[in-house]
Amino acid sequence: MSGSSLPIVLYVLRRLVQAVPLVVGIVTINFILIRLAPGDPATLLAGEFADRATVDRLREEFGLNEPLWVQYATYLWKVASLDLGHSYRFRAPVTEIVLGRLPNTLLLLVVSFGLSMVLGILLAALSARRPNSAFDNTASTIAMLGYCLPMFWLGMMLILVFSSLLGWLPTGGMYSLRGNATGMALVADIARHLILPATAYAAYFMAMAYRLTRAKLIETLREDYIRTARMKGLSERRVLFGHALRNAMVPVIAVMGLDFGVMIGGAVVVETVFSWPGVGRLMYESILSRDYPLLLGIFVIVSFGVIVVNLLADLVAALVDPRIAYD
């Protein structure tokens, strides 16, 4: 094991180094956006209703009277020291506000992602075993729908049916209003609030995991080593889950990891529809109140998060298929 782990370590290090220009690129995009905005950047960062002193202080702080490259260096340095400015709506540091909301978004993400990966892959395995069977056709149709229904509309329809019509689940939020539950009661309360947003969010992930895995599995099940495994007398289940799925998973993990940047966008609409108090909802609120420092800060922090997830996906893919690290 120790002999084979060195290439993986090197591989991860190489990917880490490759992430550096990406981080700089994202901060640069932010800087350009601040400059591109109509009007004075200092006013943009201070907010429409800021007083003269605040605007002047920000102009000083961001070196806006200095040449452009000094401004750029100042901005890079501020981001590197995790200073993403002040939200003028919350009157608090951006980093603090976003990190405060992050756990709620992570909870939603992890639950949705876990649910969709398990269900998506399981259904794909059952479909790929008999392509074009009744089961496959039904599952594929559902996946197509999950892939095409906009998350925010699916969310609204879920509220309509399960909250408004049937009254089974709350329409939104994370806790019951009068709830001062603790312990297991609190967990149960949050779980009840989590079901609908997680379903709306997971539908798309699941469809994607299903489609990718199914296509890859059908291809893999034709390989010679699968025939060998079958001829060895292995049970169909061992062949499917032990041999085929493991190899089909590598590209699936890679694609899902790479698309994470697109998927995370769903958090904004899902959290908005369900009033889930996470980073996505915060994004929506800052759009409404034109809180630009907060908007830009959320973009930076979410981007960094996406980069980390990409690295993790690379690492998992390399662990499942060590050949990747040798390329």
Partner 1 sequence: MTDRRPPAAAAAAGPRRPGAIGLFLRKYGENRSAVAGAMLVAGLVALAVAAPLLTGHGPRQLGAVPLLPPGAEHPMGTDDLGRDIWAQFLYGGRTSLLVGLVAAAISTAIGVFLGAVSGYFGGLVDDAIQRVTEMLSIVPRYFLAMVTVAILGPTILNVIVVIGVLSWPPATKLARAEFVTLKSRSFVDAARMSGAGPWTIIFSEILPNALPPIVVQTILAVSAAVLMEATLSFLGLGDPNLISWGLMLNKAQTFLTIAPWMAIFPGLGISLFILGLNLMGDGLNQALNPRLRREAKA
Q: Characterize the bridge pairing of strands 92-93 and 86-87.
A: antiparallel
State the angle between helix axes of 292-320 and 2-36 in degrees (0 to 180), rounded to the nearest 10: 160
Nearest approach, Cβ of residue 182 and partner 1 (Å):
31
Q: Which of 313, 299, 297 is nearest to 260 (CA)?
A: 313
Q: Residue 268 or 325: which CB sits closer to partner 1?
A: 268
Q: How far is CA 20 from CA 80, 150, 310, 311, in A?
A: 12, 33, 13, 12
Nearest approach, Cβ of residue 314 and partner 1 (Å):
11
C-alpha 126/C-alpha 142 separation (Å) is 14
Q: Residue 249 or 271: which CB sits closer to partner 1?
A: 271
Interface residues with partner 1 (CB under 8 A) are 21-22, 25-26, 29-30, 33-34, 36-38, 44, 131-132, 144-145, 147-150, 152-153, 156-157, 159-160, 164, 171, 218-219, 258, 261-262, 264-266, 268-269, 272-273, 283-284, 287-288, 290, 292, 295-296, 298-299, 302-303, 306-307, 310
Residues ≥6 apart with Cβ < 8 Å to 44: 34, 37, 292
Cβ atoms of 175 and 192 within 8 Å: the answer is no
Nearest approach, Cβ of residue 265 and partner 1 (Å):
2
Nearest approach, Cβ of residue 185 and partner 1 (Å):
27
Nearest approach, Cβ of residue 209 and partner 1 (Å):
17
